[in-house]
């Protein structure tokens, strides 16, 4: 097969065609929209097959005179859109190897590793999805015993759920929590994402208040196609003690039960976090991280360049 891939620098991308391709793709992801990449990767190029038949966003950084591909913060799955046939996927990865000496990027769940890609490593990762199209009672029947017990403890704490937390309150709460606090650049990116999603009507911040009317847990959700993404969450010590996040997720599920989409928990390779999501009946969705490293040995010793 003759390759039809073009490498496009950011300034040469047709963003109308790009966003049309992403939006109409069967594997469409929030993270691959131009507006989202502009807020997370900031500097990103692309590989495009034909007339935007298949596209692959490339977050690019440069260090020690070498350009490399990395996975931006707040950006779980990228890769190729729409799902390509194996021979097309292979051409994309060959083109990546020819252009870059180093890459570490997470693909989307519809991108399977091409066979016999020499020098490139693919490792499986887990996302967690919970369809909410059924009645709440049916969804709740899939909760684990531990999750039910923690929701019961939370209810005994007389918590209050709110579906409309202001962005400023959420960000202040996050910054005041030492474990969840973000550096300035990351906080600005998150603020920009939240502001845009709220403006477009695809974002919502849900929270839980203690009996003393103190915010103790909150989650920023973003709706994209058939998914509502659990994009950023935070709870403080009071919230953890009261099991507030269990209560928040349960109340959110109650509020959306019967709608034709799934809650996308974004997954975790941390066993305790994975158990939290699985406790609500969420099922794993496998996606792959692709890694390629042909840097000179001295550079690998001097500087690890992946974020």
pLDDT band at 118 (very low <50, low <70, confident <90, very high): confident
- Taking the model in full, what pTM does it have? 0.91
Q: State the average pLDDT over residues 15-22.
A: 98
State the Cα–Cα distance between residues 189 and 26, nearest whole angstrom. 27
pLDDT tens profile 150-185 = 999 999 999 999 999 999 999 999 999 877 788 889
State the Cα–Cα distance between residues 152 and 240, nearest whole angstrom. 14
Residue 289: Cβ within 10 Å count: 16
**Residue % of the chain over a pLDDT of 90:** 85
Q: Are 28 and 81 in contact (CB under 8 A)?
A: yes
The DSSP letter of residue 83 is P
Can you point out the beta strands (E) in 194-281?
203-209, 215-224, 227-235, 262-264
**pLDDT value, residue 301:** 44
**pLDDT value, residue 179:** 76
Q: State the average pLDDT over residues 192-208.
A: 97
pLDDT tens profile 35-69 = 999 999 989 999 999 999 999 999 999 887 889 99
Give the residues across from 33 on adjacent strands.
none
Q: Are 286 and 125 in contact (CB under 8 A)?
A: yes
């Amino acid at each position: 097969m003759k390759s039809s891939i073009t490498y496009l620098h950011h300034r040469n991308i047709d963003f109308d065609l790009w966003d049309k391709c992403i939006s109409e793709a069967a594997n469409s992801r929030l993270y691959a929209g131009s507006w989202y990449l502009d807020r997370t990767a900031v500097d990103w190029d692309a590989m495009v097959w034909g007339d935007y038949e298949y596209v692959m966003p490339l977050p690019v950084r440069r260090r020690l005179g070498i350009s490399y591909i990395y996975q931006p913060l707040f950006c779980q799955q990228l890769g190729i859109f729409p799902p390509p046939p194996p021979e097309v996927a292979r051409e994309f990865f060959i083109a990546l190897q020819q252009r870059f000496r180093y890459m570490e990027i997470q693909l989307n769940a519809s991108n399977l590793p091409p066979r016999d890609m020499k020098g490139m490593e693919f490792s499986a990762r887990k996302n967690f999805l919970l369809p909410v199209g059924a009645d709440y009672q049916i969804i709740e029947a899939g909760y684990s015993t531990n999750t039910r017990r923690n929701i019961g403890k939370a209810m005994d704490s007389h918590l209050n759920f709110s579906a409309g937390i202001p962005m400023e309150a959420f960000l202040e709460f996050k910054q005041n929590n030492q474990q969840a606090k973000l550096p300035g650049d990351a906080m600005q990116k998150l603020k920009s994402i939240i502001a845009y999603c709220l403006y477009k009507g695809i974002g919502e911040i849900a929270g839980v208040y203690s009996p003393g009317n103190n915010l103790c847990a909150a989650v920023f959700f973003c709706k994209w196609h058939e998914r509502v993404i659990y994009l950023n969450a935070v709870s403080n010590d009071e919230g953890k003690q009261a099991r507030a996040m269990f209560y928040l997720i349960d109340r959110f599920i109650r509020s959306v039960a019967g709608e034709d989409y799934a809650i996308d928990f974004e997954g975790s390779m941390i066993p305790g976090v994975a158990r939290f999501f699985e406790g609500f009946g969420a099922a794993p969705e496998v996606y792959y991280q692709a890694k390629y490293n042909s840097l000179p040995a001295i550079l690998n010793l001097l500087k690890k360049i992946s974020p």
